Amino acid sequence: MSTDFTYRIRRAADADAGRLRTMQERSLRALGRSFYAADLIDRFIRQVGTMDAKVLAEGHYFLAVDTSGAVVASGGWSRLQPGYVGPGETAGSAAAEPTVRAVYVDPDHARRGLGSAIMRQVEADAVAAGIRMLHLAATLSGIGLYERLGYARGRRRSLVLPDGTPFPVVEMHKRQSASAPVRAA
C-alpha cells in the first residue's frame, strides 16, 4: 500500500461529529480487534462512545480529510474529565491534567503516518495553549504509536465501563517542547 496520498488537517466542528464517530467506530473495531474481544469493543462503543461532544466544543480537536472529503484520522486534547472517569470523579468536570483524547485513524489508511500527523497537531495546539505536559490513556492498539512519539508508559489499568466491565489501557505522558508550530486552521 502506498503511503503517498493527500490530506489536510483542520479543526473539527460540531457538524463533523457524525462523520467522526462513524470513522472512529470503524477504526476501533478494525484496528483494536487484535487487542480486544469484539464484544468488549462493542460494549465500549455502546456505553462510552468514541468521542465526547464536549471535547469538540472546547476547540482543541482535529481531523484529517482526504481529497474526497472523507475523514481519515482524528484526535485532540481536553481539559475535561473523559466519560470513562473512575470512582469519585465526574465526567465533563475539569481534569487534573490536560488529556489527549479520541485519537483514531481510518483502518483503510492505517500505517501512513496519519496518527503521527494528528498527534503533532494536537501537541502543537496544546503548546500554543500553554500546556507543557500531556497525559493519555492509550488503548493497547495505540501504545506503539505513542511510544514512537516519545510518550512514556505509566501503569497499566482498566477503565471501568458503566456496566462494570474492565477495558484495559496504559497510562502514558509526555513533556511538550515549547517550539512546536501550530499548522491547522
The domains of the chain, with CATH numbers, are 7-175 (3.40.630.30)
Q: What is the mean pLDDT of residues 112-126?
A: 96
Pick the closest to residue 148 from 185, 117, 127 (CA basis): 117
pLDDT value of residue 52: 86
pLDDT tens-digit map of 149-185: 999 999 999 999 999 999 999 999 999 887 544 444 4
Cα separation, 90 vs 108, in Å, equals 35
Sequence-ordered list of residues with C-beta below 8 angstroms from that of 87, at least 6 positions apart, any chain? none
**Given a cut of 60, is residue 89 above it in pLDDT?**
no
- C-alpha distances in Å from residue 56, one per residue of 11, 79, 82: 9, 12, 12
Confidence band, pLDDT 50/70/90 cuts, at residue 83 = low
Q: How far is CA 149 from CA 83, 98, 119, 152, 174, in A?
A: 25, 17, 8, 9, 9
Residue 118: all three cell numbers together: 494528528
Residue pLDDT, tens place only, 25-43: 999 999 999 999 999 999 9
Sign of the torsion angle spanned by Cα atoms 37, 167, 81, 164:
positive
